[in-house]
A and B are shown apart, each in its own frame.
Chain A
Amino acid sequence: MEAVLQKLFDAVLEGDFGGVQSNVQEALDANLDPNTILNDGMIAAMREVGRRFEEGEYYVPEMLIAARAMQSGMMTLKPHLQKGDAKPSGKVVIGTVKGDLHDIGKNLVALMLEGDGYVIKDLGVDVPVEDFIRAIKEEKPDILAMSALLTTTMSMMKTTIEAVIAEGLRDEVKIIIGGAPVTETFANRIGADGFSPDASRAVGMVHALLEK
């Protein structure tokens, strides 16, 4: 790998805001392909961040600053990407279900997917079923992602999936769920397409779902 890409990779890994920006600029000045800068420098680094989080080596703040550093690099890189033909990996509508205000896990999933090239429409927390439905109709996402931290709000995921079916939209999106009390068994029981125990594994799961 080019030395500057390695430096960029390391800067993302360390959450070094300024370092990411300057290395993106340096790589652009050296006439490297913007897509290579994105894929080998930044997306690869975010995957490594995800791996470390999965292994318990990295903690929540480290994931957050890495994502923030990558976003700062994207601001520099984006105008150049339009000249190339980087097309987004897919579109994801995400939110925490009605009655639940917990957003850390949901935000991490959004950041990791964004870091992997997905376009994210984040509906926030305490999202009513109707808002999920409207977002599917308006945004036409590939993936609907729902989060719940409380055992008492998990059932809203089932309610939402039932509403998606009732609206005749079930074949339009893949539905994934996550959150502390959520299990694979629960995901299967309510008819979700995928479940992930953490934000990092959510990325691989989404890849797999969209390849099918």
Chain B
Amino acid sequence: MIETTLTNKSKRVVIHRDAPTVIIGERINPTGRKEVLAALEAGDFESVRRDALAQVAAGATVLDINAGVPGADEAALLEQIIKEVIAVTDVPLCIDTVNPKALEAALNLYKGKPLVNSVNGEMKSLETVLPLVKEHGAAVIGLCIDSNGIPASPEERVTVAEKIIKRATQLGIPIEDIVIDPLAMAMSADHKAGWVTLESVRLIVQEFGVNITMGASNVSFGLPDRKYVNATYIAMAIQAGLTCPITNPLVTEINAAILAADMAMGRDEFSMRWIKAFRKRNKDAGEKR
């Protein structure tokens, strides 16, 4: 059984198929969130700290950190956000950047074993990101994409995953520290997109046994009532082999779907996590009233 371990100060998170799904909180990311962008541009980190705490309270055990603010010094900003987040919570972090300088700065600062988001199948990416991952003993997300773009078929995505896994293991990165993202795409633009990703997950797990992540909320882009689509899709993806989705745990429907899927997969003994989460929801609703 492949286990991916992430750490930060006192917390240790283990991602594997027999354990409950690990939620990587997606909200500290200015892409698609204009209020986060505006706050970061103004040098206001209060909302970052709030987002961190709220996601952890809602069940995130890893937090994704993205500092992609146009025109800003990404390395400096990423460092600053990481400092702000680790000042308020001790969950491991997922460092989300395509900028090698920013990645290096973040890895130098980080105490523990983070998840790097991400490397892809392009030579340039493999050659810059993987040595940094190896040097710092981090884990890494491999995106099923290469210089030819996003493969259309599940089989081709497996091929890209294989290329990344081969290259990383050749460098001495253990296979358990490679998490594959088969890419969740909008079903509104291509009605087969959801299926292609689910099938890719199934094949990649069958072939390599690695942990799987994805930005699961992409599937519902352009559709009404996205939360129901996201919740159903994430549950199906967990059945297919998704172990650590990057998602928003503050959406009740998604959170509940993950807990129910874990129960269905036999990962929630005596259903205690489900019951606890229900009580917490009731309590939170009571406090709001």
- Contact A125 B149, CB 8 Å, known A60-B189, A151-B30, A181-B32: yes
- Contact A60 B221, CB 8 Å, known A101-B150, A181-B31, A181-B34: yes
Q: For A126, what are the chain B residues with a Cβ–Cβ distance below 8 Å?
A: 149
Q: For B70, what are the chain A residues with a Cβ–Cβ distance below 8 Å?
A: 151-152, 154-155, 181, 186
User: Are B222 and A152 in touch, CB under 8 angstroms?
Assistant: no
Fill in one digit per residue for A116-129: 1 if any B CB lies within 8 Å of its CB, else 0.
00000000011000
Q: For B74, what are the chain A residues with a Cβ–Cβ distance below 8 Å?
A: 152
Q: For B31, what are the chain A residues with a Cβ–Cβ distance below 8 Å?
A: 149-152, 180-181
Q: For B150, what are the chain A residues with a Cβ–Cβ distance below 8 Å?
A: 101
Fill in one digit per residue for B215-228: 1 if any A CB lies within 8 Å of its CB, else 0.
00000011110000
Q: For B37, what are the chain A residues with a Cβ–Cβ distance below 8 Å?
A: 151, 181
Chain A interface secondary structure, helix, strand, loop or mixed?
A: loop
Quick check: is B54 within 8 A (CB to CB) of the other chain? no
Quick check: is B145 within 8 A (CB to CB) of the other chain? yes
Fill in one digit per residue for B84-102: 1 if any A CB lies within 8 Å of its CB, else 0.
0000000000000111000
Give the shortest distance, in Å, between A145 (CB) and chain B (any CB): 18
User: Are B149 and A107 in touch, CB under 8 angstroms?
Assistant: no
Which residue of B145, B149, B222 contacts A60 across the interface (Cβ within 8 Å)? B222
Residues of B67-120 contacting chain A, CB below 8 A: 68-71, 74, 97-99
Cα A151 to Cα B77 with chains together (Å): 14
Quick check: is A90 within 8 A (CB to CB) of the other chain? no
Cα A89 to Cα B32 with chains together (Å): 33
Quick check: is B188 within 8 A (CB to CB) of the other chain? yes
User: Are A64 and B145 in touch, CB under 8 angstroms?
Assistant: no
Q: For B222, what are the chain A residues with a Cβ–Cβ distance below 8 Å?
A: 59-61, 104
User: Are A59 and B224 in touch, CB under 8 angstroms?
Assistant: yes
Residues of A46-96 contacting chain B, CB below 8 A: 59-61, 64
Cα A60 to Cα B223 with chains together (Å): 7
Q: How large is the interface on A (under 10, 10 to 19, 20 to 34, 35 or more residues)?
A: 20 to 34
Q: How large is the interface on B (under 10, 10 to 19, 20 to 34, 35 or more residues)?
A: 20 to 34
Looking across the interface, which residue of chain B has its beta carbon closest to that of A151? B68
Quick check: is B250 within 8 A (CB to CB) of the other chain? no
Quick check: is A194 within 8 A (CB to CB) of the other chain? no
Looking across the interface, which residue of chain A has its beta carbon closest to that of B32? A180
Q: For A154, what are the chain B residues with a Cβ–Cβ distance below 8 Å?
A: 70
Q: For A104, what are the chain B residues with a Cβ–Cβ distance below 8 Å?
A: 186, 188-189, 221-222
Fill in one digit per residue for B32-53: 1 if any A CB lies within 8 Å of its CB, else 0.
1010010000000000000000
Q: For A64, what are the chain B residues with a Cβ–Cβ distance below 8 Å?
A: 188-189
User: Are B99 and A61 in touch, CB under 8 angstroms?
Assistant: no
Residues of A13-55 contacting chain B, CB below 8 A: none
Looking across the interface, which residue of chain B has its beta carbon closest to that of A152? B68
- Contact A60 B186, CB 8 Å, known A101-B145, A155-B71: yes
Cα A61 to Cα B74 with chains together (Å): 36
Cα A183 to Cα B98 with chains together (Å): 23
Cα A61 to Cα B98 with chains together (Å): 31
Give the shortest distance, in Å, between B96 (CB) and chain A (any CB): 10
Residues of A153-189 contacting chain B, CB below 8 A: 154-155, 180-181, 183, 186
Give the shortest distance, in Å, between A148 (CB) and chain B (any CB): 9
Q: For B149, what are the chain A residues with a Cβ–Cβ distance below 8 Å?
A: 101, 125-126
Fill in one digit per residue for B128-160: 1 if any A CB lies within 8 Å of its CB, else 0.
000000000000000001000110000000000
Q: For B224, what are the chain A residues with a Cβ–Cβ distance below 8 Å?
A: 59
Looking across the interface, which residue of chain B has its beta carbon closest to that of A156? B70
Looking across the interface, which residue of chain B has its beta carbon closest to that of A125? B149
Q: For A107, what are the chain B residues with a Cβ–Cβ distance below 8 Å?
A: 189
Residues of B within 8 A of A (CB): 30-32, 34, 37, 68-71, 74, 97-99, 145, 149-150, 186, 188-189, 191, 221-224
Sample of 26 A–B contacts (CB below 8 Å): A59-B188, A60-B186, A60-B189, A60-B223, A61-B189, A61-B222, A61-B223, A64-B188, A64-B189, A101-B150, A104-B188, A104-B189, A125-B149, A126-B149, A151-B30, A151-B37, A152-B68, A154-B70, A155-B70, A155-B71, A181-B30, A181-B31, A181-B32, A181-B34, A181-B37, A186-B70
Task: Across the A-B interface, give the 5 residue pairs with the lowest CB-CB distance, nearest first.
Answer: A60-B222, A60-B188, A151-B68, A152-B68, A154-B70
- Extra contacts besides A60-B222, A101-B150 (11): CB < 8 Å: A59-B188, A64-B188, A104-B189, A104-B221, A104-B222, A151-B70, A152-B31, A152-B97, A155-B71, A180-B31, A181-B37
